[in-house]
Amino acid sequence: MKLVWHANNLLEADWIRDLLGTLIDQEALDLDCSCFDDNTIHVVSSNWKPLPQYESYFAQCRSRCKTLILFHASDEYFSGGNALYRHFDLVLRNFRTYLTTGPGILSLPFGYSNGTRRSGDSKPAKERRYAWSFTGEIKASRIDMAAAMEGFGDNLFTRTASIDDAAGRKLSKAEFDAILSDTVFSPCPMGNVILETWRLYESLELGCIPLIERRPSLDYYRTLLGDHPVPTFASWRKARLFAETLYADKHSLAQLQTHIGDWWATEKGKLRATLQTAIAGPSQSAALNRFAALPHNRYPVLYEPLRLAELLRHQSTASLRRRLMRPTGPLKRITRDALRLQSRKPAS
């Protein structure tokens, strides 16, 4: 099949190619929406352009093409416009939400960022320099993570606005990966607005033991990945206690590192097999038409409160309070997307 990119320089492009693998025999960059080839997987990004702006283009594609698949990337804000799914035989997407759950829609892990080193065998936990590390912006629940993990073992922690070292120098991707490759525990607190971040998948690729969050009403990664072995916690205080106890037991530490690494290798194989089966299988266009016709997909005024409630489930009490006190960043993006939704006509 042909992979058609409608967004340039997506940071998850390597992961998308990794998942699709041998299913793809050619690629094209099509920013002006001029490709009408059959047997295509079209990659769109909600960060690049709102989904409803593709309506006319994909309607034309549907009229010309026998097999049409959408890869809906970068939709962590659950920005809406999902009635567009009706033009496709199958929809693949990042970021799982019940708002886009149904036959013909496969929610896939966000994956790692471009350039992540995948070197095979990783350094044993007992030989790694850092008991834990975190390099990146400190916001939302990351503040609670930093407070809970402070003082635990030899660590590398930079309180910066971006991926910099302690001196403020921007780290290269290779340097960032080298840190993870020398880290035992990798705390993976929530990202911009939801629990899932690619820090988890970068940590898995580089042999760390990730520590991840859950919420009282949402065990996000369990829903997305099934019965996974990644240590999951309702609070960062409990994560610290777990890490301290396990770090003192080198045998159990090595066992968990190996178990998680084996699980992740198997999980990626399962994901590729699932994709191959779905893409080779019968069209799900009828199911996607029914999905698109649901009232909340047709009427933005119904979708918006559902979206906000879903995003709230990802927040801890402390992270929500901090976001409300700083009405920029994610809140600004949520407001912008809401205004776009309210200004457009219901999907036909």
pLDDT tens digits along 266-278: 999 999 999 999 9
C-alpha closest to that of 235 among 217, 262, 213, 253: 213
Determine what percent of the chain is predicted with pLDDT higher than 90.
80
Q: How far apart are CA 15 and CA 24, in angstroms?
A: 13
Q: Are 109 and 210 in contact (CB under 8 A)?
A: no
- DSSP calls for 253-296: HHHHHHHHHHHHHHHHHHHHHHHHHHHHS---HHHHHHHHTSHH
The sign of the CA dihedral 11, 86, 89, 36 is negative
Per-residue pLDDT tens over the stretch 91-137? 999 999 999 999 999 999 999 999 997 766 789 999 999 999 999 88
Say how far apart CA 72 and CA 186 lie, in whole Å: 28
| Cα→Cα distances 140→78, 158, 194, 318, 326, Å | 19, 16, 10, 7, 10
Instruction: Give the chain's residues under pLDDT 50.
Output: none
pLDDT at 194: 95
- Tell me the two tokens of residue 53: 């702006």
Angle (CA) 215-220-222 rounded to 5° is 115
In the chain the domains, ranked by start, together with CATH numbers, are 2-104+284-343 (no CATH), 125-268 (3.40.50.2000)
Rounded-to-integer distance, Cα 166 and Cα 161, Å: 11
Tell me the C-alpha distance between 16 and 72, whole Å.
11
**Long-range contacts: 245-251, Cβ < 8 Å, 24+?**
246/209, 247/131, 247/153, 247/184, 247/185, 250/125, 250/126
CB 137 within 8 A of CB 158: no
Query: Which residue, among 53, 8, 48, has the nearest Cα to 27 in the 3D structure?
Result: 8
Side chain identity, residue 164: D
Q: What pLDDT, on the 0 to 100 scale, is given for residue 260?
A: 97
In terms of pTM, does the model score above 0.85?
Answer: yes
